[in-house]
Amino acid sequence: MRLTTARPDVLAVQLVLLGCPEPVREFPFEPDRGARGFRLDLAFPPAPLKIAVEYEGGITRGGPSHTSVQNLLRDCRKASLLASLGWLYFRATAPTVDDGSVAELIAACVRGRLTPATRAAYEHWLRLYAASRTTVRPRAHTRSPREDTHALRARDTGRPGPAALARPGPAGARRP
């Protein structure tokens, strides 16, 4: 039987059923070392836990998400950065989520790092984090997601995107 629920969600439920506190889904990780931030599929962020879980979905489908050289290098940098900051880093795949083996490993690590006091502190942190994520914040900019994509591409390649070329410039100005 094939599950239709996203496997990171299945893994989160497995962890709770194994006695772990609820993990944070899609945790935005912003390192202090000038590295670019990223999102973790599941995380137990505050110390003393600091456990990260990434789900490798593209591997079993044959999709490009984690199988290209560029993406594999990015994942290696991510794992190295997390390890250098004291995080435990787990990678889960469809077979390891479906048979529950990765959930058992992660749960053992979580239980090993939790005491009743740290569990209460984590649950308090989780409530504060959830409250901060539901606060409505004004958008920092007024561009559409498509314009954001073009702006990032222009920044990375040094060439203007289609949005910049479509805007009329000052009278008599030459286009690039």
Q: Looking at residue 38, what is its pLDDT? A: 87
As a whole number of angstroms, the distance between CA 155 and CA 85 comes to 29
Q: The domain containing residue 73 runs over which residues?
A: 7-134
Phi and psi based region of residue 127 (left: phi greater than 0; alpha: psi -120 to 50; beta: remaining) = alpha
CB atoms near residue 92 (< 10 Å): 23
CATH code at 116? 3.40.960.10
DSSP labels, 47-87: TTT-EEEEE-HHHHHT-STTTSHHHHHHHHHHHHHHHHTT-
Examine residue 155 and state whether it is found in any structural domain, yes or no.
Answer: no
Q: What is the pLDDT of residues 57-109, one digit of tens each?
A: 766 555 555 567 888 888 888 899 899 989 999 999 989 999 999 999 999 99
- Structural domain total, the chain: 1
Whether 73 is covered by a domain: the verdict is yes
| Banded pLDDT at 3 (limits 50, 70, 90) | very low
Residue 148 in any domain: the answer is: no
- By C-alpha distance, which of 105, 53, 125 is closest to 82? 53
Where are the alpha helices (H) located in the chain, listed in sequence order?
7-17, 57-61, 69-84, 94-98, 101-113, 116-134, 145-157, 162-166
Q: Say what the pLDDT of residue 138 is.
A: 47
Residue 62 lies in a domain: yes
Predicted confidence at residue 35, as pLDDT, reads 62
pLDDT computed for residue 162 by the predictor: 54
143 domain residue, yes or no: no
Asked, for residue 36, whether it belongs to a domain, the answer is yes
In a domain, 151, yes or no: no
Classify residue 170: in a domain, yes or no: no
Closest CA to 55 of 111, 17, 6, 105: 6
Whether residue 4 is predicted with pLDDT greater than 50 in this model: the reply is no
pTM for the full predicted model: 0.67
